[in-house]
Each structure stands twice: as structure tokens, then as C-alpha cells.
Amino acid sequence: MAKMTMVEAINMAHAWEMAHDPDVVVLGEDVGTNGGVFRATVGLQQRFGATRVQDTPLAEGLIAGAAIGLAAQGIKPVAEIQFMGFIYPAMDQIASHMARLRNRTRGRLTCPLVLRMPHGGGIHAPEHHSESLEALLCHHAGLRVVCPTSPLRAYGLLLASIRCPDPVIFLEPVRLYRFMKQEVEDNGEALPLEHCFVLREGADVTLVTWGATTVESLKAAEQAAAEGISCEVIDVASLAPIDHETILDSVVKTGRLLIVHEAARNCGVGAEIAATVAEQALYDLLTPVRRVTGYDTIMPFYRLEHDYIPSLARILDGIRAVMGD
């Protein structure tokens, strides 16, 4: 069992599934010769050949459309979009065809594909390189949206996504690609989709998060513990569909909910979680639900990027506020 980063675990999951399923192929911009912009597919073309790992033109609509066509004919494509902000040219294919193929054909055709893309800020790049657009994708019925936050979860969830008969959007937090190393066994064991992960048990506050903000959220929970506040930290992991049951069970236990995410506040996935808790656990809440999020602006370039991303200080302030302090 080797210690590895998230990007290495993603690469290993690709290799396992390609070695064990000849129908799995990889396509995208620079995924073959260069191994991807973040090197998530490095070495795959050399190992499996250019037929199964194909470089494409710089055309996101083509990448998504080709993946849909391959999936409809029984191939299992894993396609990469270089940055999440580049997804807009592919949205017609995603919304009009990828998400609807099973329903349109009444189950005669399915769309078993994975569309991978980096998620969020942290690399100090211009606009379109640091987007958190999960709400845009979660709104489309027929799509699954997954966001791992550790090497182990990235490995298991990518395997599950490739094996899933539905289209899966696989969001990879940029700040976590090489943030930490973790022991990951290359055993081909998938993790279940549609489940939250409780990263820390607690009794006073339920802290719900996903993506790279899991790091700051766990740090905030640790510091809050020094103040006598016990936080339960939940990594949502599956953004569509959401495992609301795990979140509701935690809220019933703690009576308080703080939601943390990097995406803009307006119409975010956090608002959906807050609404569900209000509908199903309102009388269990001791204080109003609060959110710590990105701002309703385009991600600012370079100097202000860290002010946009929810900080440890902002999350701690949110914990104190939801405690009524």
C-alpha cells in the first residue's frame, strides 16, 4: 500500500479500470502525450496505447459530444475538461443529450461516462480557471455530480463513477491535488456513490462542506474544540444526488447547521441543503442555519483569490454565530 497524492490516486484508478475493462477509454485535451494539465493521466497512453487514450482538439463541445456517442455504443469514456470554467461550450451536449439520453430513449440507450474536471480556486490563474460551478450541473436531472476530497476517496469514487451506468460529473478540487499524501491500496474497491462521509464526530454543530473547503472546515472544528465547541464535519462528496439522510441525522443530534462551500452564495448547493433541513428538521434546530461561502462575484484574480475562498477565520466566526455567540 503506497502513500500518494490525490492526483496520483486518480491516475491509479484510471489504470486499474482500464486494465480490467477493455471498454474504458480516456479522451481530452493533452491527456495523452502530456498526461493532462495536472498530470492526472500521465503514463496511460504509453501503457494502453493511443487508441484508448486520445488527445482531442481544444473543443469542449466536441469532447462531451464524442463521449456521449461512445457511451451510447457501449464504450465507457472518461473525458477530461481542462478547467471547470471551460465547461460552457460543452453545456449544450451535457444538458441536452448527456443528461437526457436514458429518458429520451426510454432506457434503450444509457450514457455510462465520466466527465472529469478541476474544481475551485487556489492556483492564482485568470478567470475560467478557478470556477466552482457545481450548482449549474446539479440542477440537471439525469446527471450525477461527485466531488472527492482525499486520495482514498478519489480512488474509490472514480472507480464507482466509471462503473456507474449514468453520466457522472467528477469534480477534482485543485487545491487538494497535491495537498496531502494518504495510503491507498490499488485493489479496485469502489466507494459507494450517493453517500456523505462523516470526517469528524461532534455534538454541538453540524458543519457541512465539500471540495477544498473541507481542509479549512476540519481546521476550524479543531480550533473550535479548544473553545469547547464540538463540531461534526460532513463531507457531502455526492452533490447530486445528496445524501440528505446523513445530514439530517446529524442536525437532529447537534441542533445547529453551518454550511461551507467555495462556490458563490446565490442559488448554491448549500441553499438546497439548508432548504431541505428547514423542511424536514426545522423543529430540531436551536439556531438558524448559516452559510459561509464564496461571494456573488467572478473569482478575483491572484491577489484577492484567498479573500474569496472561505477562510479559517470566516468559518470560525460562522461556528460562533451558529452557537449564538
Residue 262 lies in a domain: yes
pLDDT in tens, 48-82: 999 999 999 999 999 999 999 999 999 999 999 99
Task: Give domain status of residue 176, yes or no.
Answer: yes
Q: Nearest to residue 260, comparing CAs of 193, 305, 321? A: 321
**Statement: residue 180 has pLDDT above 80:** yes
Look up the domain containing 24 and give its range.
2-184
Nearest to 299 by CA among 132, 141, 149, 157: 132
Amino acid at 45: Q
130 lies in the same domain as 210: no
Q: How confident is the model at residue 19 (pLDDT cuts 50, 70, 90)?
A: very high
**Could you tell me if 27 and 173 lie in one domain?**
yes
**Section 9-30 average pLDDT:** 98
Q: pLDDT of 280-294, one tens digit each?
A: 999 999 999 999 999
**pLDDT per position as a tens digit, 138-167:** 999 999 999 999 999 999 999 999 999 999
Regarding whether 285 and 205 lie in a shared domain, the answer is: yes
Last residue of a domain, one of 184, 210, 233: 184
Given a cut of 80, whether residue 325 has pLDDT beyond it is no
What is the percent of the chain with per-residue pLDDT over 70, rounded to a whole number? 100
83-102 residue pLDDT tens: 999 999 999 999 999 999 99
> Apex CA 274: angle with CA 197 and CA 259, to 5°?
55
Query: How are beta strands 197-200 and 168-173 bridged, if at all?
Result: unpaired
Known catalytic residue: 129? yes
Dihedral angle, C-alpha 25, 211, 134, 140, nearest 10 °? 70
* Count of structural domains within the chain: 2
| Peptide linkage before 165 cis (omega within 30 of 0) | no
Query: Of residues 119, 129, 244, 261, which has the active-site annotation?
Result: 129
How many residues comprise the chain?
Answer: 325
CATH number of the domain within which 166 lies: 3.40.50.970
Q: Are residues 170 and 287 in the same domain?
A: no
Its pTM stands at: 0.96
